[in-house]
Amino acid sequence: MKFLVSGGRRLQGKVRISGAKNAALVLIAASVMAADDVVLDNVPRIADVDTQLQIVASLGGRFVWEGENTVRISWPEGIETTTTPFQLAKKLRASNLFLGALLARTGKAEIPLPGGCNIGSRPMDLHLKGLQALGFEVKLEHGFIKAWAKKPTGNRVYLDFPSVGATENIMMAAAGIPEVTVIENAAKEPEIVNLASFLTALGVKVRGVGTDIIRIEGVKERGGARCGVIPDRIEAGTYMIAAGITGGEVTLENVIITHLHPVIAKLEEAGLKVDVGEDTLTVTPSGELKATDIKTLPYPGFPTDLQSPMMALLSVAKGTSTIVENVFENRFQVADELKRMGAQIKVKGQTAIVEGVEKLYGAQVKATDLRAGAALIIAALAAEGETEICQGELIARGYEKIEEKLSGLGAKVRVV
Ligand code: EPZ
């Protein structure tokens, strides 16, 4: 799949932000823990969600879409197997979130070791250490992680790094243990808060989510739940940056402003004007784009998922910007592709130095991961001429109706 973008057009108008990919993926996995029906609202229709739902079906679950963005998941025959299929699980790292959910429901789980993707090795050590602390046995065998309940007990778990996935897996495993578990140095991302609201609806006691100390008191029996997926703060940031690089005026609808504070602050520093409403915000240009220094950090720091899109914006900002990537060890791949469009970027270890240039030029480039792909679309929107982005399927994985939404804002984008 290729994205063909003709640059040089200002984005104008309104765009509605979809449900958060990274919240939907964990809620779909968590549905395994519910004995009765689970209904999820505001679920984005993207490839990663389809794959996660196919894994639910492979475990014995049934899912039916009840409207454009509402899905009902049920388990008429209970859990038929506790092994996630390699062919599906290898497509996305978030398949590792079935680990904690299956342990809570059945006391057993077998998932393929998620392959590192090209933004880093992405080990599972923190997940496994946490599960072992909760009394689960864990074994690595033939590329699979096998885990089973030895003597599940509540415990204090300290995370060396506030890993989003490790926090989520440990929360779900603890949610099935009728004792107290405390996770210290837990991740604080809004997607974790969304998971906590789901677990609470299942009758689990969760306290402190959104801070670095989460207290969970699990329950053995859990019914069903209905839960809404929060708006996607990364999709929102992507459209804000796309508006900014084209000097356009764009209003985003269906956002949660507090989730975007780090992004709003940085974009204002880069010279954009951001007016916030109740659940909307409007980006307008205010003079030229200015060089800005970015450090990615766990939430509420600047999100690593917007680092590549920011690099595209800063490629045409006046002056020299420094970007430090503190979360993943190899997330500057997009720099080489941006340089093919005329960007001037020097990468040294975890730091990228971006010298702003007058303008970028259309070229043939390759999306190396989802967010790098988004960055290339952003660069292409401002570049002179046509840009062809191959491996575009990586972009469609995480951005609902991106071609439609950009065209609706006046961009000239085609997918072939
Ligand atoms: C989640 O991945 C997101 N994915 C990622 O979004 C996001 O970039 C990341 O959190 C950080 O915010 C989903 O939620 C599905 P981590 P996750 O565990 O949970 C290291 C996107 O584009 N680490 O917080 O895998 C790890 O190697 C994706 O939407 C360990 O060392 O991220 C990484 O360097 C990309 N050991 C750092 O922590 C572990 O056991 C952050 O990883 C686990 C992680």
What is the C-alpha to C-alpha distance for residues 153 and 136, in angstroms, rounded to an integer? Answer: 9
- pLDDT, residue 127, reads 96
Say if CB 367 and CB 390 are below 8 A apart: yes
Give the domain ranges of the chain: 3-18+231-415, 21-228
Residue the block writes with tokens 């099935």: 176
Sheet containing 351-355, strands listed edge to edge, beginning at the edge strand earlier in sequence: 294-295, 320-324, 351-355, 344-348
In the CATH scheme, what is the code of domain 3-18+231-415?
3.65.10.10
* 53 pLDDT above the threshold of 60: yes
Atom nearest to 304 CA in ligand 1: 8
Question: How far does residue 246's CA lie from ligand 1's centre (Å)?
Answer: 30
Say if CB 175 and CB 140 are below 8 A apart: no
What is the C-alpha to C-alpha distance for residues 257 and 290, in angstroms, rounded to an integer? Answer: 23
Percent of the chain past pLDDT 90, that is, above it, reads 95
Q: Which residues line ligand 1 (CB under 6 A)?
A: 21-22, 25, 93-94, 120, 122-127, 161, 163-166, 304-305, 327-328, 370-371, 398
Q: C-alpha angle 151/144/216, rounded to 5°?
A: 40
- pLDDT, residue 113, reads 87
Domains 3-18+231-415 and 21-228 share a fold: yes
- pLDDT, residue 40, reads 98
Q: What is the full DSSP assignment across 294-335?
A: EEB-STTSB-GGGHHHHHHHHTTSBSEEEEE--S-SS--THH
* 120 pLDDT above the threshold of 80: no
Question: How far does residue 189's CA lie from ligand 1's centre (Å)?
Answer: 11
What is the C-alpha to C-alpha distance for residues 245 and 313, in angstroms, rounded to an integer? Answer: 6
- What confidence tens digit (pLDDT) does each residue in 252-269 have? 999 999 999 999 999 999
- What confidence tens digit (pLDDT) does each residue in 2-42 have? 999 999 999 999 999 999 999 999 999 999 999 999 999 99
Question: How far does residue 150's CA lie from ligand 1's centre (Å)?
Answer: 27
- pLDDT, residue 114, reads 79
- pLDDT, residue 181, reads 98
Percent of the chain past pLDDT 70, that is, above it, reads 99
Residue among 334, 411, 404, 346 nearest 374 (CA):
334
Residue the block writes with tokens 């040294």: 348
- pLDDT, residue 68, reads 96
What is the C-alpha to C-alpha distance for residues 393 and 366, in angstroms, rounded to an integer? Answer: 11
* 116 pLDDT above the threshold of 60: no
Pairing of strands 71-74, 38-41: antiparallel
Query: Annotated catalytic sites, by residue?
Result: 117
Mean pLDDT of 97-118: 89
Mean pLDDT of 221-247: 97
More confident residue, 116 or 137: 137
| CA atoms 386, 390, 393, 396: torsion sign | negative
| CA atoms 240, 243, 246, 248: torsion sign | negative
The answer for residues whose C-beta is within 8 angstroms of residue 315's C-beta and 6 or more apart is: 338, 341, 343, 344, 345, 354, 356, 357, 360, 379
- pLDDT, residue 122, reads 72
Mean pLDDT of 166-186: 98
What's the one-letter identity of residue 384? E
- pLDDT, residue 150, reads 95
Backbone phi, psi, residue 318, to 5°: -75, 120
Mean pLDDT of 303-318: 98
* Topology, domain 21-228: UDP-n-acetylglucosamine1-carboxyvinyl-transferase; Chain (3.65.10)
